Structure 1
Amino acid sequence: MTPSWIALIVLAIAAAGFVLARSRALRAAAREGRRLHSLPGYYGWTAALYAALPALLLLAIWLVAQPAVTRMMVWPVLEAEASANAVPSLMMADVQRLAAGLDAAVETGRLSREAARDLPAGEMRAAMAAQGVALGSEVTSATRDAALRWRRLAGVGHLARTIAVIGLALAGAAWGVSRAAPDFRARNAVERAMRGTLISAALIAILTTVGIVLALIFNTIEFFRLYPASEFFFGTTWSPSFGGGSELGILPLLWGTLYISLIALLVAVPIGLFAAIYLAEYAHRNVRSWAKPMLEMLAGIPTIVYGLFALLTVGPLLVEAFGRGGYLGLGWMQGGTAVMTAGLVMGIMLVPFVSSLSDDIINAVPQSLRDGSLGLGATRSETIRQVVLPAALPGIVGAILLAASRAIGETMIVVLGAGAAARLSMNPFDAMTTVTAKIVSQLTGDADFSSPEALVAFALGMTLFVITLALNVVALWIVRRYREQYE
């Protein structure tokens, strides 16, 4: 039985437990002539939570643990052959695809269970091709035996999972229904369960972040065991080669990242700040009610759309203006992909980040400061320049730093608008690339993750993580200091 069907059955059991527990509590109160401690719905929710939460938690743990346990039990079949091939991960992937293909062939009626179990290794590749399953290597006897063991263990695991999860749900529902009595503090039990659920959700978010950071750290350490850290951080050439002899200097990538982000901020900060000042200080309430949502719609456009806009519209327009055959005749730009192309489009994307945050900061400035300035005879523009903006400056700086961290982490606009050349150049009309674009390119394809050329993506990611984390910490520190001063 699939996990989705199991989850639906668990929810149905929880719903039945809700109805039974609620009706049992009402009957007990009527029979004993006593008032219920809690509202009737709380007794139902107690049984529903006892049925659903432990069962769904067990299902989630089982879904994570079963593949790992199955892989560990199947690996001894492949161990002898893996020592010669030295690509155990690819072999195990073929085993899983082969097992899935056999299951699909049995379900569609192409093979019987007996035929799937007795199919020779030489005929399995053709049978998998008929199912649309692509294998990375020939099917050997060891691969065949491992796939059959995988199917057998997976079948046992699926059956055990179904019985355990549904059984736990039934037991929880029965336990919740049995506790539905007038003196049972059902509301307290529900509140404890909900508090535990919320704490668990918060812990999952924290542990996910910790897991991502640990994955970056361990793979970065592994990379620096294979490639010198001094050449990575101070090298000026980026030339990966999976055949060997790579030069993996990060400086050209950092330069491209910072250069494009700088141009984006030069576009986004003035436009976003002026828009925020207008919306906060000059716009009528009716104008603000539609202008601000329209401006913030820019933040909801997918970045791939911005990238296509840069590639198909902004790039050709810049070439017509600054290219060799352009109407300015400057010859500065050789192609549509350039730092300027990506920077302009990214700046447009960042406008709502700067404007929305700055608008909130400006509106947070106490009205008494404005009234005092106007009362002393200052005009509205003088009040904005000399009172409002200085008071809001720490918050505006924090908004700009948050927008900068967003620009540094952008990928799709850079991939489509800036090109793929890793170079150190001051010309904004040259094609360059960034750290995020190279992370994508290094992990694209059938890369061997034990090589420096693949592990370098984690070192790049760790570097980018440290930079953006520092920017975010500085921005939040500035904003918090601002709030402490003016609220």
Structure 2
Amino acid sequence: MSEEPLSTVLTRSSNERAAKERVYRWLLFACAALTVLVTLSIVVTLTWDALTFFRFEEIDVLGFFTGTEWNSRRGEFGVWPLVSATLTVTVVSALVAIPIGTAAAVYLSEYATPQMRSVLKPALEILAGIPTVVYGYLALIYLTPWLRSAGLPLNSLNLFSASVMVGIMIVPMVSSLSEDAMSAVPDELRQAGYGLGATKFEVSTGVVIPAAISGIFSSYILALSRAIGETMIVVMAGGMQARLLNPTNPFETVASSGQTMTAAMVHAVTSDATGGSPEYYSMFAIGITLFAITFGMNLLSNRIAARYGEKYR
């Protein structure tokens, strides 16, 4: 039996590898195209149904974006009370998550031993896997009564407890992404700081954090985008009564029940509103507004990362 020439074997092997690479390339392209298609489908669906909402005679487009009263049953569709409640939850949760998450990231990156990091980081990230309905239950049954016993004048349903619990929920996102950004800082920069006589704390705050600031800030934006879209916690612990934030006494509003944009969407889809009513289609108008806010925050995150990101060779 004659053996095939070596050149023939090498050519066939090369052709097989090229064919496999083409299959892999098109498979990966299909996955990427599917993600884009899903995103475009969501945007088109929200936009189409939101336009249907604005076509109703009783709906005023300008009144929707500038109105200060939201009561879908009475035909009042001013989105500002929902936006103010959503931003309130976002700000308060940021005050909880950003300091704790950043401090945890600094410890994991700069102070923890490899053995301690291998235990603490997975344990911290377990918080991200807890269902949000559990967080809502904890806020309603345990956190609110405890805060009231501590002297805070909170209603049974209030935005403050919901915001604190949302902040606890997004701590793993802040700490994990920030720790990854800090770990990417070259050790040469740390050694240079130590060579100048700096302490570990001074190197952490004066060298590592500034060098990783773009990644850290991006983690903040992504975490807050997650907080804006949170539903179950604010529904269970925050209530469903839409009210505009009182700028002269913001704690009074936070201590009372409030309705975020996601809570209003849940109310619209779970109420007894008919399928073709303005109340039903209002959830799509709220959804496209929420999508625009979240998209803007992610775009801001990308701009900041591109503007202040450090590149190391």
TM-score using structure 1 length: 0.58
Distance between the aligned counterparts of 2:101 and 2:140, measured in 1? Answer: 24
5+ long unaligned stretches in structure 2: none
Distance between the aligned counterparts of 1:314 and 1:263, measured in 2? Answer: 15
Residue 318 of structure 1 and its aligned partner are, at CA, apart by 1.9
Q: What's the CA shift string for 1:46-70, capped at 9, x where partnerless?
A: xxxxxxxxxxxxxxxxxxxxxxxxx
Paired position in structure 2 for 1:333 = 154
Structural RMSD (CA) = 2.4
Q: 2:221 aligns with which of 394, 401, 412?
A: 401
Residue 267 of structure 1 and its aligned partner are, at CA, apart by 0.6
Distance between the aligned counterparts of 2:290 and 2:143, measured in 1? Answer: 27
Distance between the aligned counterparts of 1:255 and 1:273, measured in 2? Answer: 26
Q: What's the CA shift string for 1:136-175, capped at 9, x where partnerless?
A: xxxxxxxxxxxxxxxxxxxxxxxxxxxxxxxxxxxxxxxx
Distance between the aligned counterparts of 1:456 and 1:477, measured in 2? Answer: 32
Distance between the aligned counterparts of 2:125 and 2:244, measured in 1? Answer: 35
5+ long unaligned stretches in structure 1: 1-29, 40-181, 324-331
Cα contact 1:240–1:247 (8 A) shared by 2: yes
Distance between the aligned counterparts of 1:429 and 1:213, measured in 2? Answer: 35
Distance between the aligned counterparts of 2:304 and 2:312, measured in 1? Answer: 12
Cα contact 1:345–1:413 (8 A) shared by 2: yes
Matched, 1:267 2:96: yes
Matched, 1:473 2:299: yes
Cα contact 1:38–1:187 (8 A) shared by 2: no
Residue 446 of structure 1 and its aligned partner are, at CA, apart by 5.3
Distance 1:192-1:38 versus aligned 2 partners, 3 A rule: farther
Q: Aligned residues, how many? A: 303
The one-letter amino acid paired with 2:226 is: R
Distance between the aligned counterparts of 1:334 and 1:360, measured in 2? Answer: 39
Cα contact 1:38–1:186 (8 A) shared by 2: no
Distance between the aligned counterparts of 2:179 and 2:108, measured in 1? Answer: 7
Instruction: Compare 383-392 and 284-293 and name the one that shifted more.
Output: 383-392
Distance between the aligned counterparts of 1:196 and 1:366, measured in 2? Answer: 36
Instruction: Give the match's secondary structure for 1:423.
Output: coil
Matched, 1:295 2:124: yes
Which structure: larger Rg?
A: 1
Q: 1:456 aligns with which of 279, 282, 287?
A: 282
Residue 264 of structure 1 and its aligned partner are, at CA, apart by 0.7
TM-score using structure 2 length: 0.89
Cα contact 1:276–1:356 (8 A) shared by 2: yes
Residue 322 of structure 1 and its aligned partner are, at CA, apart by 3.1
Cα contact 2:139–2:237 (8 A) shared by 1: yes
Q: What's the CA shift string for 1:239-290, capped at 9, x where partnerless?
A: 112xxx4001111101110101111111111111111111111111111110
Paired position in structure 1 for 2:48 = 218
Q: What's the CA shift string for 1:101-154, capped at 9, x where partnerless?
A: xxxxxxxxxxxxxxxxxxxxxxxxxxxxxxxxxxxxxxxxxxxxxxxxxxxxxx
Residue 187 of structure 1 and its aligned partner are, at CA, apart by 5.1
Percent of aligned pairs with the same amino acid: 44
- What are the within-5 Å matches in structure 2 for residues 310-321 of structure 1? 310-321=139-150
Higher relative contact order (CA 8 A, sep 6+): 2
Distance 1:35-1:317 versus aligned 2 partners, 3 A rule: farther
Distance 1:193-1:334 versus aligned 2 partners, 3 A rule: closer
Paired position in structure 1 for 2:114 = 285
Cα contact 1:307–1:414 (8 A) shared by 2: yes
